[in-house]
Amino acid sequence: MSKGTKVPGYMQGKGSRNPRGIIGDREIRYKCSLQNTILDVLRGRPGWQEVPGQNNIQPNVNQANPKQAGSGSTTQGTTSGYKGSFQSIPPITRNSDGDWDFYWCDREWLAQNYDTMFLYEHQKILHFRNHYELTRKNLMVKNLKRLKKQTERELGKAEGQSFEFFPTTYELPSEYHIFVEEFKKNPGIIWIMKPAARAQGRGIFLFRRLKDITDWKKGEYQPLSDPNREVPETYVVQRYIENPYLIGGRKFDVRVYVLVVSYNPLKVWLYRSGFARFSNTRFSLDSIEDTYVHLTNVAIQKNAPDYDPDKGCKWSTQQLRKYLSAKHGVEAVKKAFKGIDNIIIKSLQSVQKIIINDKHCFEMYGYDVLFDSDLKPWLIEINASPSLTASGKEDYDLKFGLLNDLLNVLDLENRLTGKEKRVGGWDLLWEDGPILADDGNMECAPNGTTASIPNSFLGCHNERKRQLRELYTAAQSIKKS
Ligand code: ADP
pLDDT tens per residue across span 344-371: 999 999 999 999 999 999 999 999 999 9
| Ligand 1 binding pocket includes 56 (Cβ within 6 Å) | no
CA-nearest of 428, 192, 150 to 294 is: 192
- Going by alpha carbons, the residue nearest to atom 23 of ligand 1 is 240
Choosing from 289, 297, 376 the residue with most ligand 1 atoms within 8 A of its CB, the one to mutate for a pocket test is: 297
Question: Is 68 a residue whose pLDDT tops 70?
Answer: no
> CA 229: distance to chain centroid?
34
Distance 240 CA to ligand 1 centre (A): 9
- Expressed in angstroms and rounded, the spacing between residue 192 Cα and the centre of ligand 1 is 8
283-326 per-position pLDDT tens digit: 999 988 888 888 888 888 888 877 776 666 899 999 999 999 99
Per-residue pLDDT band for 230 (boundaries 50, 70, 90) equals low
Q: Which residue type occupies 4?
A: G
105 alpha-carbon distance from chain centroid: 15
CA dihedral 323, 468, 407, 386 (to 10 degrees): 10
| Residue 18 reports pLDDT greater than 70 | no
- Give 140's pLDDT tier (boundaries 50, 70, 90): very high
Residue nearest to atom 14 of ligand 1 (CA): 296
Pick 252 or 62 by higher pLDDT: 252
pLDDT at residue 112, as a whole number: 92
Q: What is the mean pLDDT of residues 364-383?
A: 98
Q: Does the beta carbon of 473 sit less than 6 angstroms from any atom of ligand 1? A: no
Residue 31's Cα: distance from chain center in Å? 20
Tell how far the Cα of 164 is from the centroid of ligand 1, in angstroms.
17
Q: pTM for this structure?
A: 0.86
Average pLDDT over residues 83-111: 60
Average pLDDT over residues 20-40: 82
- What value does the mean pLDDT take over residues 217-244? 76
> What spacing in Å lies between the alpha carbon of 241 and ligand 1's midpoint?
10
CA-nearest residue, atom 17 of ligand 1 = 295
Identify which of 143, 73, 88, 131 has the alpha carbon closest to the alpha carbon of residue 106: 131
pLDDT at 65: 30
pLDDT on residue 308: 72
Residue 380 beta carbon below 6 angstroms from any ligand 1 atom: yes
**Mean pLDDT across the chain:** 83
Alpha carbon of 294 to ligand 1 centroid (Å): 8
The CA 200 to ligand 1 mean position distance, Å, reads 9
pLDDT tens column, 100-136: 999 999 999 999 999 888 899 899 999 999 999 999 9
Atom 7 in ligand 1: residue holding the nearest Cα = 381
CB of 66 closer than 6 A to ligand 1?
A: no
Assess whether pLDDT exceeds 60 at residue 256: yes
Comparing CA positions, the residue from 51, 97, 41, 35 lying closest to residue 74 is 41
Q: Residue of the nearest CA to atom 19 in ligand 1?
A: 380
Q: Whose CA is nearest to atom 11 of ligand 1?
A: 295
Please state the rounded mean pLDDT for residues 274-288: 92
Find the mean pLDDT for residues 84-89: 29
Residue 243 beta carbon below 6 angstroms from any ligand 1 atom: no
In sequence order, what are the beta bridge partners of 45? none
pLDDT of 15 reads 36
With a 6 Å cutoff on the Cβ, whether 167 touches ligand 1 is yes
Q: How many CB atoms lie within 10 A of CB 300?
A: 20
